[in-house]
Amino acid sequence: MNSVGSSGIFQPLEGDDPRVIAGYRLTARLGAGGMGKVYLSYTPGGRPVAIKVIRPEFSEDAEFRRRFKQEVQSAQRVQGLFTAPVIDSDADGPSPWLATAYVPGPSLAAAVAEHGKLPVPTVLLLVAGIAEALQVIHGAGIVHRDLKPSNVLLAADGPRVIDFGIARAADATSLTSSGVTVGTPTFMAPEQAAGSTITPATDIFALGQVAAYAAIGTPAFGEGTSHGVLYRIVHEEPDLTGLPEELRELVSRCLAKDASERPSIAEVIALCGAASGQTQLRRPEEWLPTAVAADITTRAAAPAPAQAPPPPLEAPTAGAPVQPPTVPAQPAQAPAQPPAAVPAQPPTVPPVPTELNHPQTPPPGFGPAYAPTVGTPAQGTATHAGAAATGPHGTGPHPTGPAVAHPAAGAPGPQPPKKKRKGLITALVVVCLLVFAGAGGAVVYTFMKDDGRKKSDQATSNNKAENSDASPTPTPAGTASPDGATNTPAAPQQDPTPVDFKNINLPDDYHLSMADEAMKPTNTDTDTDTDFAYQDNSYSDDQVNTENGKLVLLNAGEEGSLDTCRNETRFTETILAKQLTKGSQICLTTDYGHVALITFKGFAPKSDPSSYMTVDVRVWRNAVQPKQDS
């Protein structure tokens, strides 16, 4: 279901796309087809799922809804190793939908379009896996009816068949009577094209077409108008030019015009084993070509859902004007006894949602939302997030710690509380001694006086030390602090301006230096800094590497930005070339403090005598602290 669109694998939602389906918050659009659109979402436990929303014209047909519900219930019984299980659905809502497990892999259609035909061993494993999927699907009483390359996903451990049974529900809609054809004409069986009885053998014919497409790179009955393709399927033989000899018997038998002459699923699997020279197929760890397997990496990490602004705890009454929660009145002046220690920075008030009467639904599985603080606090005060209210009517406990009151501009800041001096106690002792003593008391008085002075001085020193250790009282910007100094806010540090270099062809054993004003490839034998190099190895995997920094291969869905590169810590010095696909992005942080975002665009064509890779480079110079020499 995760077909690749024109703008990438994970396409942003458009204006007419829903944002939430039955509690599933949609985060991206995966593709669209004749039956509807497919979106990416997540289960409450964080597992990605593909949600297919049926087109409105089908949704308006009552018979379609009835058939759709039946087919989905049957599909939920299908639990095969080579199928994407249906985990949730709704046939009665405004728009019928179903959710399946998200498969991180390209469709067969996308893989062939991007990388060309597949080798024979891969095709045999592909056909055997699809045959096993059909065995489970047919066992649940379902005929797929729309088996085609875009409904076969290539995962790391084998193919996955999706969208089984949905086409049958469309057969019942009144749209078919107005000329709408259900299924893809290029991969239909003759009986399907002629409107005759559909049986499991119909899927075997489609399997033969899928096998031919994977091995040749083009459909067996050609392309063109629907009527022309359907005529050739019914009346002409397939064009198997270029089909490897090992696959000819398998494909020819599956494409028999007479459904009774097509092999059973067990026979298909046996033919795959015979074509491979084995009695039983053994799936290796890497069954896909390197270039196709690399596409799985770009889909393995689905983009994480962004947190939606939480809704208010109490939904507004329909038709009633929206009233912000009541904010308790704040004193206009500082209290007589301010707290002994205040935070260095006032707490930040959370942003106020722009549309309180249209709360967004949070993603499933996340904790309860808090009530946002609404309204402007009284002048000269700052409140902690949620200090105004924790309940729907503005009542509830205050946040931990006292509220902070800041003085108005020009007013002195709050003074620390005065401490009692020990000298007072000493003075009382001296008075008593003077009353009850004579000359000897004078001696005692002199001694105690000196002792009191020492203790008083010590207390004063302790007071100063305690006041210096306490958090400083915040002073408004531009006003004088108690010591007379003017508080001037520090200017925020500006990020360096990026410099872009487009379409750099980096040859084998050449490298790039991020400090070069005019960046160009340099031979690795020179003494210049090897910040980013490409090596086309003869005896090991091709790779890119760095000698003066750290590399990070970004996951699909990660934003290629300076902040991302600064915060990533999955460091390496080498990345295998087979891990790169068109559009892959690499963060490079050099030992000299430069940060670069390198976008891979492709390798040299096989017809080119040179070996090189093409990249775009965006570099932020002096963006981080340089590495300190030990």
Q: CA 529 to CA 524: how far, in whole Å? A: 9
- What's the token pair of residue 530? 């090897």
Query: Do 155 and 62 belong to one domain?
Result: yes
- Beta pairing partners, 552: 587
pLDDT exceeds cutoff 90 at 149: yes
The structure tokens listed for 104 are: 């991180």
* Shared domain check, 253 and 104: yes
pLDDT bucket at 299, cuts 50 / 70 / 90 = confident
| Span 57-76, average pLDDT | 84
pLDDT at res. 249? 96
pLDDT at residue 96 above 50? yes
pLDDT for residue 85 is more than 60: yes
Q: Is the pLDDT of residue 222 over 80?
A: yes
Of 276, 300, 324, which residue sits at a domain end? 300
Interatomic CA distance for residues 496 and 621, integer angstroms: 7
Q: Is residue 406 a part of any domain in this protein? A: no
pLDDT for 133 beyond 90: yes
pLDDT above 90 (res 69): no
* 504 and 433 within one domain: no
Distance CA 95, CA 60 (A): 9
Q: Which helix (H) or strand (E) holds 458?
A: helix 439-469
**Is residue 13 within 8 Å of 26, Cβ to Cβ?**
yes
The mean pLDDT of 1-12, rounded to a whole number, is 56
Q: What is the pLDDT of residue 318?
A: 43
Looking at residue 300, its pLDDT comes to: 65
Could you tell me if 148 and 248 lie in one domain? Answer: yes
Contact 252, 240 (CB under 8 A): yes
pLDDT of residue 140: 86
Supply the residues annotated as catalytic.
146
Confidence (pLDDT) at 71 = 82
The owner of tokens 């084993």 is: 273
pLDDT of residue 320 exceeding 50, the answer is no
Q: What is the pLDDT of residues 364-409, one digit of tens each?
A: 333 333 333 333 333 333 333 333 333 333 333 333 343 333 434 3
Q: Which residues pair with 553 in a beta bridge?
A: 586
Most confident range (mean pLDDT) of 8-22, 126-140, 368-382 is: 126-140
Statement to judge: residues 442 and 515 lie in one domain? no
Mean per-residue pLDDT, 210-219: 96
Q: Which residues pair with 543 in a beta bridge?
A: 535, 576
Residue 237, in any domain of the structure: yes
Examine the domain organization and report whether 112 and 50 are in the same domain: yes
User: Residue 279's pLDDT is what?
Assistant: 59
Closest Cα to residue 146, out of 171, 122, 124?
Answer: 171
What is the pLDDT at residue 251? Answer: 97
Alpha helices in 183-313 (DSSP H): 190-193, 200-216, 226-235, 245-254, 265-275, 290-300
**Mean pLDDT, residues 122-150:** 93
- Residue 115: predicted pLDDT: 93
pLDDT category at 179 given cuts 50, 70, 90 is very low
Q: Is 165 left (phi over 0), alpha (psi -120 to 50) or beta?
A: left
pLDDT band at residue 136, thresholds of 50, 70 and 90? very high
Which residue, 275, 300, 325, sits at the end of a domain? Answer: 300
* Cα–Cα distance list, 511 to 516, 541, 567, 617 (Å): 12, 18, 25, 13
Q: Which pLDDT band holds residue 61 (cuts at 50, 70, 90)?
A: confident
With a cut of 50, say whether residue 538 has pLDDT above it. yes
Number of domains in the chain: 3
- The yes-or-no verdict on residue 257 having pLDDT over 80 is yes
Give 597's pLDDT tier (boundaries 50, 70, 90).
very high
**CA 19 – CA 27 distance, rounded (Å):** 8
Question: Residues 438, 526: one domain?
Answer: no
pLDDT band at 595 (very low <50, low <70, confident <90, very high): very high
Residue-wise pLDDT for 411-449, tens only, equals 444 444 444 444 444 444 444 444 444 444 443 344 444
pLDDT digits (tens, 9 = 90+) for 340-358: 444 444 444 444 343 333 3
Note whether residue 627 is domain-resident: no
Tell me, yes or no, whether 330 lies in a domain: no
∠ CA(557), CA(41), CA(173), 5° rounding? 125
Helix axes 108-115, 200-216, angle to 10 degrees: 20
Is there a domain that residue 378 lies in? no
Alpha-carbon gap, residue 142 to 86, rounded angstroms: 14
The pLDDT assigned to 376 comes to: 38
Model confidence at 298, pLDDT cuts 50, 70, 90, reads confident
Mark whether 105 and 197 lie in a shared domain. yes
Q: Which domain holds residue 438?
A: 423-452
Q: What is the pLDDT of residue 276?
A: 86
Q: What is the pLDDT of residue 134?
A: 96
Per-position DSSP letters for 81-132, written without gaps between them = TTB--EEEEESSSSS-EEEEE---S-BHHHHHHHH-PPPHHHHHHHHHHHHH
> Could you tell me the CA-to-CA distances from 22 to 259, 283, 365 in Å, in that order?
42, 39, 13
pLDDT, one tens digit per residue, over 23-36 is 899 999 998 877 88
Q: What is the CA radius of gyration of the chain?
A: 37
Same domain for 448 and 580, yes or no, is: no
Last residue of a domain, one of 300, 328, 351: 300
Of residues 585 and 609, more confidence is placed in 585
The answer to whether residue 595 is domain-embedded is: yes
Least confident of 148-157, 159-168, 330-339, 559-568: 330-339
Q: Using the predicted structure, report yes or no on whether residue 97 has a pLDDT greater than 50.
A: yes
Q: Which residue would you say has higher pLDDT here, 487 or 403? A: 487
Sequence-ordered alpha helix ranges (H) in 15-61: 56-59
Predicted pLDDT at 437: 44
504/429 same-domain check: no
Mean pLDDT, residues 492-505: 88
Same domain, 433 and 511: no
- The residue among 185, 189, 124 whose CA lies nearest residue 159 is 124
pLDDT, mean over the chain: 74
Sort strands 48-54 and 97-101 into parallel, antiparallel or unpaired: antiparallel
448 and 567 inside one domain: no
Q: Is 616 in a helix, a strand, or coil?
A: strand
The pLDDT tens digits of the residues spanning 273-285 come to 999 887 567 666 6
**Residue 465 host element (H or E):** helix 439-469
**φ and ψ at residue 601, rounded to 5 degrees:** -115, -15
pLDDT at residue 354, as a whole number: 39
* 32 falls within a domain: yes
